Amino acid sequence: MKKFDRSWVIAAVLLPVALTLGGCSLLPGGNVPNVPVVPGDGSDVDQETVEDIVEGADGDIDYEAGQLPADFPVDEIPLVPGEILVGISMGSDDRDAWQVNIVVENEAVAETADDLLLEAGFNNDSGFAFENETYLVVVSAADSDQGYQVAYIISEIG
**Strands laid side by side in the 130-131 sheet:** 60-65, 83-91, 96-104, 147-156, 135-144, 130-131
Q: What is the pLDDT of residue 47?
A: 54
Contact 85, 66 (CB under 8 A): yes
Check: pTM over 0.85? Answer yes or no: no
pLDDT in tens, 70-127: 999 999 999 999 999 999 998 877 789 999 999 999 999 999 999 999 999 999 998 8
For residues 50-63, average pLDDT:
61
Q: Domain residues of the chain, as ranges?
A: 6-156
Q: What is the pLDDT of residue 7?
A: 42
In the predicted model, is pLDDT for residue 63 greater than 50? yes
pLDDT in tens, 18-47: 444 444 433 333 433 333 333 344 455 555
Q: What is the pLDDT of residue 112?
A: 96
Beta strands in the chain (DSSP E): 60-65, 83-91, 96-104, 130-131, 135-144, 147-156
